[in-house]
Amino acid sequence: MTRERPKALKAEAIALRLADCPGWALAEGKLRRDLKFPDFSAAFGFMARVAMIAETLDHHPEWSNVYNRVSIELTTHDAGGVSALDFEFAARLNRLLDAS
Amino acid sequence: MTRERPKALKAEAIALRLADCPGWALAEGKLRRDLKFPDFSAAFGFMARVAMIAETLDHHPEWSNVYNRVSIELTTHDAGGVSALDFEFAARLNRLLDAS
Amino acid sequence: MTRERPKALKAEAIALRLADCPGWALAEGKLRRDLKFPDFSAAFGFMARVAMIAETLDHHPEWSNVYNRVSIELTTHDAGGVSALDFEFAARLNRLLDAS
Amino acid sequence: MTRERPKALKAEAIALRLADCPGWALAEGKLRRDLKFPDFSAAFGFMARVAMIAETLDHHPEWSNVYNRVSIELTTHDAGGVSALDFEFAARLNRLLDAS
């Protein structure tokens, strides 16, 4: 499968898309969402699901975890900025959270 | 830490404890619970959490997964039957499901 | 993305492909591999990686785990038998094991 | 089980223990190890195993992942510094890496 290389979105396009992407914000040029769970078990169960999204999209987050907190940053290094692929990732992650 | 070796519970004791352990049944001499999730992602996220319970208790299930279904069987091989440790595992797993 | 529906392979084609797929055998009409790891931690770490393969291919195994043992069965229900997709899964899983 | 509260180790004791703890260094008052794996799959398979250590010890790392890199920081908040518990975690993590 060939996939078109994602391009960096311009600031206006990012702002428009963020309006449809609850929980996410632009921080230091990346999409960012901070999450809090009841405990470590819930946080890591969620991370296992995010890992499967990452491999499915072949697009991987910059993320960190401290006990029940998970912070996720998304950017597309090849594109030099936030691309449609980051918003696709964010949307999938939101669907996963909505269904929990 | 030394831990007392768990002993196999008698049929009457198992029946009493099962009354307090919703979702579980005795099947072929083991505690068994069959679960169904929305999809594979949800099922495996749950399995990652069960794996942490297993390592914490140093007691491991016999379990299987097919897409969104997970079947869990618990027995204590050293004891030759169902022990208090299996009910401890089942109770923790139930708390995890209740909180989801 | 539209993907062609996989078709069940005939016995001869399965036998040919199995020759290139070390560790796997045909059992009750499914591809099967039984694995043994040093302990539960290693077994489940492997399972987390297999789960990512499953989601990437949108093709999921029938699998079970008991402590350090993992058994994996592959079949394509839509096709009514073993398909090229099962061999793709088996090959990816073998690459993962070879690299460990 | 009652467990004695861990105490912060003094600089000299930390230095002595670090000598027996390859791969780890003291950075900003925490034990730190940076790891690199072949790919995301290998990195996350490892993380699933670290998560089980964390729950077993009831002691959780501050950690981050970017593709094939995992950074782990250990400190004991209750103790206000690095404690024996952090070295126990680091030793278990090293045994896991040595066995891979």
What is the per-residue pLDDT across B80-90, written as a single tens digit (0 to 9) for each?
Answer: 999 999 999 99
Average pLDDT score, chain B: 95
CA distance readout (Å), A89 to A72, A75, A76, B100 = 11, 10, 11, 23
CA A56 to the chain's CA centroid: 13
User: Which has the closest alpha carbon to C86: C75, C71, C72?
Assistant: C75
For chain B, list the contacting chains (3+ Cβ pairs, <8 Å): A, C, D
- Per-residue pLDDT reduced to its tens digit, A15-25: 999 999 999 99
The pLDDT assigned to A46 comes to: 98
* Distance from the D60 Cα atom to the nearest Cα atom in chain B, whole angstroms: 13
- Amino acid (1-letter code) at residue B47: M
How far apart are the CA of C13 and the nearest CA of chain B, in angstroms? Answer: 26
φ, ψ for residue C22, nearest 5 deg: -60, 140
pLDDT value for D99? 86
Min Cα distance D21 → chain A (Å) is 23
Q: What is the pLDDT of residue D2?
A: 52
Asked if residues B51 and B58 have their Cβ atoms less than 8 Å apart, the reply is no
C17-30 residue pLDDT tens: 999 999 999 999 99
pLDDT in tens, A30-39: 999 999 999 9
pLDDT exceeds cutoff 80 at C90: yes
Best residue in A56, A57, A64, A89 for a mutation probing chain D (most D CBs within 10 Å): A64
Mean pLDDT of B76-99: 96
CA distance D39 to D55: 25
* Range name among A46-50, B46-50, B77-81 with the lowest pLDDT average: B77-81
A1 to chain C nearest CA, in Å? 9
Q: Name which of D34, D40, D52, D65 to mutate to probe chain A: the one with the most chain A Cβ atoms within 10 A of its Cβ.
A: D65
3-class DSSP state of C21:
coil
User: In this structure, are residues B80 and B14 in contact, taking their beta carbons and an 8 Å threshold?
Assistant: no
The mean of the pLDDT values for chain C is 95
Rounded distance, CA A63 to CA D45, Å?
A: 16
Chain C nearest CA to A52, separation (Å)? 5
Interface check D58 vs A, CB under 8 A? no
Is A56 in Cβ contact with C51 (below 8 Å)? no
ipTM, two decimals, is 0.94
pLDDT at position A52 over 70: yes
Residue A76, SS3 per DSSP: strand
B92 at C interface, C-beta within 8 A:
no
Is C38 part of the contact surface with chain B (CB cutoff 8 Å)? no
D56 touches chain A (CB under 8 A): no
CB contact under 8 A, C56 and A56: yes
| pLDDT classification of A96: cutoffs 50, 70, 90 | very high
Chain C interface, best mutation among B37, B55, B58, B66, by max C CB count within 10 A:
B66
Residue B4 has pLDDT above 90, yes or no: no
Does D52 reach chain B within 8 Å, measured CB to CB? yes
Do A60 and D51 count as a contact with CB atoms less than 8 A apart?
no
C-beta atoms of A55 and D62 within 8 A: no
pLDDT at A1: 47
Helix axes A84-99, A40-57, angle to 10 degrees: 140
Q: Which of A41, A51, A54 is nearest residue D55 as measured by Cβ atoms? A: A41
Q: To 5 degrees, how large is the angle CA D95–CA D96–CA D99?
A: 85
pLDDT at B100: 77
CA distance B63 to A57: 29
Tokens of C6: 């996989």
Give the three-class secondary structure for A43.
helix
Do residues D54 and A40 make contact, with C-beta atoms less than 8 angstroms apart?
Answer: yes
> Can you tell me the distance from the alpha carbon of C92 to that of C23, in angstroms, rounded to the nearest whole number?
13
Question: What's the one-letter identity of residue A29?
Answer: G
Residues of C in contact with B62 (CB under 8 A): 64-66
Q: Is the pTM of this model over 0.80?
A: yes
From the list C41, C46, C49, which residue is nearest D52 (CB)? C41
pLDDT of residue A3: 63
Q: Which residues of C touch B47 (CB under 8 A)?
A: 47
CB contact C38 to D (< 8 Å): yes
> Residue C27 forms beta bridges with which residues?
C30
